[in-house]
Amino acid sequence: MLQRVNVLEKSVITIKEYGKINLHLKDILDSRNITRNRLAELVDTRFSVIDKWYKNNVERLDLDVLARVCYVLDCDPSDLISYDTKSHQSLSLR
């Protein structure tokens, strides 16, 4: 005989605010005096791509671009990306 089990599942449906991914490219470029245009040239991508990263206005990350940016800037992905969970609140399922 099967028993019913109440389980709190962690999914987008059950989380009010699941946090936000933040990009720190602006901080890195500004500290190294590298322009967005120069980075776009070095990474071989469009200025608009680097500009979105710079302004922390990215919906989807292209992992190939991430790898090229890390290579050019000699940094790790964790230097460029952080996960903000400050407003993470779970809801219970009923």
CATH of the domain at 78: 1.10.260.40
Q: How many domains does the chain have?
A: 1
Asked if residue 6 is part of any domain, the answer here is: no
- 89 vs 94: CA distance, rounded Å: 16
The reply to whether 94 falls in a domain is: no
pLDDT in tens, the chain (94 residues): 555 555 555 555 544 567 788 999 999 999 999 999 999 999 999 999 999 999 999 989 999 999 999 999 999 999 999 998 875 444 444 3
Tell me whether residue 9 is in a domain.
no
Identify residue 12 by its one-letter amino acid code: V
Residue 2 to residues 5, 7, 9, 93: CA-CA distances in angstroms? 9, 15, 19, 20
Give a yes or no: residue 1 inside a domain: no
This prediction has a pTM of: 0.73
Domain around 28:
22-88
Written as six digits, the tokens of 32 are 């190294």
